[in-house]
Amino acid sequence: MGNNNLMKKSLIFPFLIRGGKPMPLYTFVLAFVFCIYNGYLQSRYLSQYAVYADDWVTDPRFLVGFCLWLIGMLINIHSDHILRNLRKPGETGYKIPRGGFFEYVTAANYFGEVVEWCGYSLASWSLQGGAFALFTFCILCTRAQQHHQNQLCCPVLRLRIPEACVGITVPVLLV
């Protein structure tokens, strides 16, 4: 589960982005190394040290965790698709994404990522998975809050935000 997400974020998503600002090689390399290292550590724990009962895949913690992971992954993939298709070729400028979970949260891609890692944490029932889910939440919640503040500060953009979304302050949970 975790390696699937890491591979998608480090290898697949960067090649699907159209236009936008160029990413410095240094940033790409750091993100790639982090994803490889985190994937290795998560995999190493699960393959070498974790002990699960033979019927673990039928345990409610695993089943609920797997369902959360799958839902988060689908939200994340759909949100990334919306973000990649925000602008038509040649178009520039900031746009507020619409559709999917962007109707409910400021940063639906971050929300999906957090749900994915919470599901992974529950399914793996490990301290390592839980720690990574917590750190992911802390980092992405801060970034989502910055996105939300940017949208609220610009009067032109504020007109495009659904009325119910303007006063909410925890953007990763609900706009």
Amino acid 97: pLDDT:
86
Average pLDDT of the segment spanning 62-84: 95
pLDDT digits (tens, 9 = 90+) for 120-154: 999 999 999 999 999 999 999 988 888 888 777 76
Confidence band for 173, pLDDT divided at 50, 70 and 90: very low
Contacting residues for 42 by C-beta, under 8 A, at least 6 apart:
2, 3, 124, 128, 129, 132
Query: Burial letters for 61-88: b for 16+ Cβ neighbours within 10 Å, e otherwise?
Result: ebeebbebbeebbebbebbbebbeebee
**Cα 102 from Cα 82, distance rounded (Å):** 9
CB 65 within 8 Å of CB 87: no
**Helical axes 108-124 vs 127-153, angle rounded to 10°:** 170
pLDDT at 159 over 60: no
Average pLDDT across the chain, whole number: 81
pLDDT at 96 over 60: yes
Q: What is the pTM of this model?
A: 0.76
